[in-house]
Amino acid sequence: MEQTKPAKPETGCHQGQPGPSLWAVQTEAAPTPVGPYSQGVAALGPFLFTAGQVGLDPKTGKLVGEDIVSQTRQALLNMQAVLEAGGTTLSKVVKTTVFLADMEDFAAMNEVYREFFATDPAPARSCVQVARLPLNARVEIEVVACYPQST
């Protein structure tokens, strides 16, 4: 699947304005946003901030299953696609925020999460239970990643 990388803007945040340049990260390898947000936003500088990803199959636009394991795995695969489209990787994630529909799912989510973040040090993480997630998903994950150093 072809991934798209928008051209980096020549000017600041708003056309013609000084300041850090920002651009949207968008890829067909992750689901299209279901609201007014970007899959990710890259800033000219060291970090990429992503929107939360749920366990949607990017081809069907539907949740991959009702269980926390399959939804966590797909959410992290979607996140991997967004990061790669933005020029970085899961190994460069410095902070994650995990939103769970039910904190009873924490242990099962954590087992899948560990498969994707086996780095040392592991990213800093916050995990909270929320009243409800988009599309009645069981988990949503957002990250902040840095960029690989240029050589």
Q: Where are the alpha helices (DSSP H) in 12-67?
A: none
The closest of 41, 1, 39, 29 to 140, measured between CA atoms, is 39
The tokens for 13 are 């945040």
Handedness of CA 47, 116, 127, 142 (dihedral sign): positive
The active-site residue out of 69, 127, 144, 146 is: 127
Other Cβ atoms closer than 10 A to 97:
16
Active site residue 127: yes
Q: How far apart are the first and last CA of the chain?
A: 28
Query: Do residues 83 and 47 make contact, with C-beta atoms less than 8 angstroms apart?
Result: no
Type of residue found at 29? A
The catalytic residue positions are 127
